[in-house]
Chains A and B, each alone.
Chain A
């Protein structure tokens, strides 16, 4: 187990290196000179040269890559070109905001989705199952910005119950006005919930058809025990991989939802950095999001291993 953990941690480091390299590479080949962008079109060549010098833009790319990665390792994400502030400072509160939104969705939607999925799988083809399947098919078909906008029209513009944008007063955090979280969370939940529910249902159905569940039924066990002791643990294994993959989806959804509701998280910041061509900020945010994804994958892997005796003892 310890060896497994070490291996996985080693793999994470490798993955992060690859990601950092890719992020750096992508942003490096961007057209347009950063110094020109900072100084505007009217800048003199002399001024540009000075700025280039200061930012180290004339160094060969391996040097720039190493100094960037070195900074990241020390917790220094560089300086935003637009706001002229250390990115580490800018990102802090945004990250907290995003995590609040994401974990709210994750920890509320996932358990319910899994529970509904199990129920629907066990009661396959019942009226409830059909309704759930229909609902989830519609839900996975709606992009977040559509759900979000429709919810705004419904609950904000028409009914006036909830705010249409989720601005957070500077210096406070979203939990001081929890009502602003409701619509973004609901939007973010839609696709995830439907997706995880469908996968859970499919896995439950698959396990229900295995020979060992047949054995359990023919042992005369009460249906309750068959489901909870034989079906669910085995159906959860593939479901965990699915949930893992969904974390990536959740992070993507976060980018959109934050922009729909003007919610001050890293997703909104990412888009702003793209629009303002703030490369150091874009690099930092992309790395941050990818790293979050990699780490959550690690946790999912550990859960999978812990649940699966075949791997646990291998």
Chain B
């Protein structure tokens, strides 16, 4: 077994303290973080969209109460909320996905609600109400399709936060449990060996950074394509 091997033909990025190939660990870590982030984002967007659209369309007291609850959820810093939830539920892929979903839901809901509020006063929605269309039809057929520009941008921005959040949780030891490779955890554990083998830390660092930069560039591109203003983003 080669511990702390430098880059070789067999181990492109060398090996770690147990002689495991860093390159393959980074690769398999990618699958897990991308899956977790994407699923968490999807969950958050789904929940947030449903809550935001319905609350915005309903208006009045219902809206007031729902948004107060969302405000309450948002009064926790995201990472703190995630830590609390994960400590409660225990760490697993599913729980991290749930956590990301819960953290994102109020933020997505707020954005979607404000989009709904402006769309619902538009004349085509009024016409649909006059036709006697039921609420679910108006929400999902008339309003939802018109939120897609906001929604795609929101989803891409959220995805980058999800990667940051998931890897941060990994770093704090609340991510996927070892020995499954997790970029955050690899960095955290590799710190002890920075002097011997900086690649143990640098490889996953570069991996996280390039993934998030990629997602952010995508978000930027989408925003420009949609010609949306750089509205308020909620970290």
Contacts and interface: CB of A to CB of B under 8 A. Distances in A.
A115 interface: no
A138 interface: yes
Nearest to A17: B72
Contact of B77 (A27, A252, A274): A252
Contacts of A152: 191, 194
Contacts of A256: 79, 168, 171-172
Given A146-B187, A199-B233, A245-B235, A252 B209 contact: no
B141 interface: no
B232 A157 contact: no
Given A206-B230, A252-B78, A289-B77, 7 more contacts: A30-B88, A141-B216, A143-B171, A143-B212, A149-B205, A245-B232, A294-B75
Nearest to B188: A145
Given A157-B198, A206-B229, A255 B172 contact: yes
Given A26-B85, A256-B172, A241 B232 contact: yes
A79 interface: no
A141 B209 contact: yes
B201 interface: yes
Interface string A6-30: 0000000001001100110011011
Looking at chain B, what size class is its interface with the partner chain? 35 or more
B128 interface: no
Looking at chain A, what size class is its interface with the partner chain? 35 or more
Contact of B235 (A29, A195, A286): A195
Would you call the interface of chain A mostly helix, strand, loop, or mixed?
helix
A114 to B, nearest CB: 15
B195 interface: yes
B187 A149 contact: yes
Would you call the interface of chain B mostly helix, strand, loop, or mixed?
helix
Interface of B: 71-72, 74-80, 83-85, 87-88, 90, 160, 164, 167-168, 171-174, 184, 187-188, 191, 194-195, 198, 201-202, 205, 208-209, 212-213, 215-217, 220, 229-230, 232-235
A241 B84 CA distance: 26
Contacts of B78: 248-249, 252
B172 A157 contact: no
B83 A143 contact: no
A293 interface: yes
A290 B71 CA distance: 12
Interface string A73-98: 00000000000000000000000000
Contact of B160 (A141, A144, A245): A141
Contact of B216 (A26, A140, A249): A140
A146 B195 CA distance: 16
A251 B229 CA distance: 27
A253 B168 CA distance: 9
22 contacts: A18-B75, A26-B87, A137-B220, A138-B209, A143-B168, A145-B184, A145-B188, A146-B187, A153-B201, A153-B202, A157-B195, A206-B230, A241-B232, A242-B233, A245-B235, A248-B235, A252-B77, A255-B80, A256-B168, A256-B171, A274-B174, A293-B75
